[in-house]
């Protein structure tokens, strides 16, 4: 008689995953109109790991709190775009908030989006060089931008050149 094994159920995607997949699919379909979207990528920082794997990833440079999506394209006064995807009543961890604030201080446009539509709006507005307004909010989107408290970097300095 064969031994029977208890089958582990496959974990369905969370709604946050589905929202992010929708953003990535839109980005792939929109690359003809917005070639910059070829650089939009997910930073795989989530998930449970063994202690050994976690230690290895940390030694390779993995950081807690890094946002889900990154578009390394300078626009207006910003060096790049970081998006942290959340769903429904998802909360931002202290590490995520600290990373977003620090990235914003360095001249990046950082936001938290609760739906795919909000993320697509944020990306589209960013690509179209939205006029600088640190207080602009999209529906269900909190913008964590503290760059308005200091002199903004221009696009040249964002590329690593001295002003």
Contact 146, 101 (CB under 8 A): yes
Q: Is the pTM of this model over 0.85?
A: no
- Round to the nearest angstrom and report the end-to-end CA distance of the chain: 75
Answer whether residue 77 is part of any domain: yes
List the domain range (segments joined by +) for residue 118: 15-44+64-158
Neighbouring-strand partners of residue 71: 81
pLDDT value for 158: 34
Kindly give the pairing relationship between strand 69-71 and strand 81-85. Answer: antiparallel
Answer whether residue 59 is part of any domain: no
Residue whose C-alpha is closest to residue 112's, from 161, 53, 61, 69: 69
Contact 12, 30 (CB under 8 A): no
19-75 pLDDT per residue, tens: 999 999 999 999 999 999 999 999 887 767 778 877 887 777 778 889 999 999 988
CATH number, domain of 30, equals 3.40.1350.10
106-125 pLDDT per residue, tens: 889 999 888 899 999 999 98
Residue whose C-alpha is closest to residue 115's, from 41, 31, 26: 26
40 or 152, which is more confident: 40
Q: How many domains does the chain have?
A: 1
Answer whether residue 142 is part of any domain: yes
Answer whether residue 138 is part of any domain: yes
Answer whether residue 57 is part of any domain: no
pLDDT band (50, 70, 90) for residue 4 = low
Answer whether residue 131 is part of any domain: yes
Answer whether residue 50 is part of any domain: no
């Amino acid at each position: 008689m064969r031994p029977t094994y208890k089958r582990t159920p496959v974990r369905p995607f969370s709604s946050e995953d589905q929202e992010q997949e929708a953003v990535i699919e839109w980005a792939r379909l929109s690359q003809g109109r917005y070639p910059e979207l070829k650089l939009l990528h997910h930073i795989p920082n989530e998930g449970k790991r063994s202690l050994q794997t976690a230690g290895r990833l940390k030694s390779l440079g993995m950081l807690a709190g890094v946002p889900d999506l990154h578009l390394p394209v300078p626009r207006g006064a910003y060096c790049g775009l970081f998006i942290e995807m959340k769903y429904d009543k998802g909360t931002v961890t202290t590490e995520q908030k600290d990373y977003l604030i620090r990235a914003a201080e360095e001249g990046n446009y950082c936001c938290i989006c609760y739906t795919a539509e909000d993320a697509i709006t944020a990306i589209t507005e960013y690509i179209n060089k939205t006029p600088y307004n640190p207080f602009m909010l999209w529906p269900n989107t909190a913008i964590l931008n503290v760059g308005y408290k200091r002199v903004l970097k221009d696009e040249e300095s964002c590329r690593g050149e001295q002003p």
